[in-house]
């Protein structure tokens, strides 16, 4: 695959960048996330997650099921702050 392929579409991270980091010892999804922001964008790693985990598995010889993904954080999809505030006031 072309190494300039964008792996994380939220933060424009290329396959090349991911492979370089893995070779430098950043070998968990969380570590790669903290350097590149892959997984921190609006999709929360729904696109890049498996791609990055597969790269880690390939480079380290581990099985995919042994590679840990990031913590899933709320909300599942983006919600406007104003809506949350309104909902909060309705409950009062």
Partner 1 sequence: MKNKAEAVIIGGGISGCSIAYNLAKKGLKDIVVLEKNYICSGSTGRCGAGVRMQWGTEMNCKIAKKSIEFYENANEILEYERDVEFKQKGYLLVAATDHEVDQFKKNIEVQHSCGIPSRMLTLKEAREIVPYLNTDVLKGAAFCPRDGFLNPFHTTDAFYRAAKRLGVEFNTYTEATGIKIEKGRVTGVETNKGFISTNIVVNAANAYGKSICDMVGLDVPIYSERHQILVSEPVEPMQDPMVMAFGLNFYIQQSPEGTFIMGRGDENEPRDLRVTSSWHFLEEMAKTIEMVLPPIAKLRVIRQWAGLYNMTPDKQPIYDEAEDVKGFYFALGFSGHGFMFGPITGIAMSEMILKENPTIDVSMLNLNRFKTGKLLMEPSVV
Q: Which residues bind partner 1 (CB under 8 A)?
A: 11, 28, 30-31, 34-35, 37, 40-42, 44, 71, 73-75, 78-82, 84-85, 87-89
Min CB(47)–partner 1 separation in Å:
14
Question: What angle (nearest 5°) sits at the alpha carbon of residue 52, between those of residues 39 and 41?
Answer: 15
Min CB(14)–partner 1 separation in Å:
14
Min CB(9)–partner 1 separation in Å:
13
Q: How far apart are CA 51 and CA 56, in angstroms?
A: 9
Total residue count of the chain as it appears in this document: 92
């Amino acid at each position: 695959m072309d190494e300039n392929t964008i792996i994380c579409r939220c933060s424009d991270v290329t396959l090349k960048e991911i492979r370089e980091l893995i070779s430098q010892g950043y070998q968990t999804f969380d570590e790669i996330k903290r350097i590149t922001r892959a997984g921190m964008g609006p999709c929360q790693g729904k696109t890049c997650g498996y791609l990055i985990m597969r790269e880690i598995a390939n480079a380290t010889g581990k099985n995919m099921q042994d590679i840990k993904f990031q913590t899933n954080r709320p909300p599942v999809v983006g919600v406007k702050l104003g809506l949350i505030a309104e909902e909060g006031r309705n409950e009062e």
